[in-house]
Amino acid sequence: MDILTLVLFALGFILLSYGADMLVKGAENLAATMGVSPLLIGLTIVAFGTSAPELAVNMQAAWTGKPDLAVGNIVGSNILNILLILGIGAVIVPLGVHKRIVKIEIPLMIGASVLLLVLSLDGILNRWDGLILASGIIGYIIYSIRTCHELKNPEEEVVSCPTEEDLEDGPKGILLQLVFIVVGLGLLVLGSQWLVNGAIMIAKYYGISELVIGLTIVSIGTSLPEIATVVVASRRGQQEIIVGNVIGSNLFNILLVLGFTSLIAPNGITVPNAAIVFDMPIMIAVAAVCLPIFFTGYLIERWEGILFLFYYFVYSIYLFLNVTNHSMLPAFNNVMFWFVIPLTIITLMAFVWESLKQNKE
């Protein structure tokens, strides 16, 4: 077993911790320096930063003529962002949701997900499709900048307030916090790579199959930056950054990453049929379920976070059973479609109904 890889594996945890702390602190201080809500920073700058690795990978794949995995990576990432990342965040501390998220960003995320499915029905995302998607993210950024004043809410309780030593006025202060954010993102990416490489080496040393490694270590490893950011943001009381980052990242993934990848791919992006008939509908359903959960009290309760984590676990089991063509797959599907999913829908409808009654009273 390579000693250097083990050392880097241990250092990866340290980089993740410091990187997440720098990212959240930089975003928190940038919001205070600019006089805007941390939600806006989470929806834009932090969301773009956490989508940057996917953008770089997809752009490189497009240039080398191998963009076929782009759609699967983005769809899987969006499902994971909501179920795993928000699930972990809500379990740590109930997450408050800004009303703007429910009124603007969630419908936009659902609309972008449906648009992606519609554009993919012919089996390919061409340059015209990419232009439509890329135009959407440009329009969203312009809209966010023009409406940033709506996110200022001086009456909101400030859980974690930057000190005067943390802040510096003017362009210099803004630049300093942007440097904090960029360096934090860099440490997160590097730390997650070292962790994943070390984990893969340890797993292979103990004879774990590559299939299991791919379905567990690699898939979770790509989300380590977001997971670390959620843990640190929860500890610092910056719930808006968590929710804004997840929803904003999903919008950036579809509109920016797939949009620009489709624009530069010489022959477009091939969309697998499995993604059209299964993964994209799952992504749309996961995005849609955010509406009733976020609407009830504008809060993601711990039990709702557990629900998200449960469905991420279920989704992972399905992928494993499907990839291995396991004999238990039909029984698993029947239990989910005829019992678990209907029970979840009924429960959510009951909570929405109760919330509507309380609002009327």
Lowest-confidence region among 129-138, 207-216, 271-280, 319-328? 207-216
Q: Is 119 within the bounds of a domain?
A: yes
Kindly report, residue by residue over 41-86, the tens digit of the pLDDT. 788 877 877 777 777 767 766 666 665 567 877 888 888 889 999 9
- pLDDT above 70 (res 359): no
Encode 245-261: b = buried (16+ Cβ within 10 Å), e = exposed. Answer: bbbbbbbbbbbbbbbbb
pTM: 0.80
Pair 223, 84: CB distance under 8 Å: yes
pLDDT band for position 31 (cuts 50, 70, 90): confident
C-alpha span between 243 and 264 (Å, rounded):
31
C-alpha span between 21 and 4 (Å, rounded):
26
Q: Is 81 within the bounds of a domain?
A: yes
More confident of the two residues 326 and 250: 250
Strand 299-300 and strand 95-96: pairing? antiparallel
- pLDDT above 60 (res 111): yes
What range does the domain containing 258 cover? 3-305
Q: Is 321 within the bounds of a domain?
A: no
Q: Is 150 within the bounds of a domain?
A: yes
Kindly report, residue by residue over 155-182, the tens digit of the pLDDT. 444 444 444 444 555 677 778 888 888 8
C-alpha span between 131 and 115 (Å, rounded):
13
C-alpha span between 100 and 248 (Å, rounded):
12
Tokens read off for 166: 């943390």
pLDDT > 90: what percent of the chain? 16
pLDDT mean over 260-269: 85
Q: How many domains, the chain?
A: 1
Residue 189: what pLDDT? Answer: 76
Pair 295, 102: CB distance under 8 Å: yes
Q: Is 37 within the bounds of a domain?
A: yes
Place of tokens 């510096």: 168
Highest mean pLDDT of the ranges 79-88, 105-114, 330-339, 345-354: 105-114
- pLDDT above 90 (res 254): yes
C-alpha span between 107 and 313 (Å, rounded):
25
Q: For residue 27, give the CATH number of its domain.
A: 1.20.1420.30
Q: Is 331 within the bounds of a domain?
A: no
Q: Is 296 within the bounds of a domain?
A: yes
More confident of the two residues 120 and 222: 120
Residue 154: what pLDDT? Answer: 39
Q: Is 332 within the bounds of a domain?
A: no
C-alpha span between 318 and 270 (Å, rounded):
24
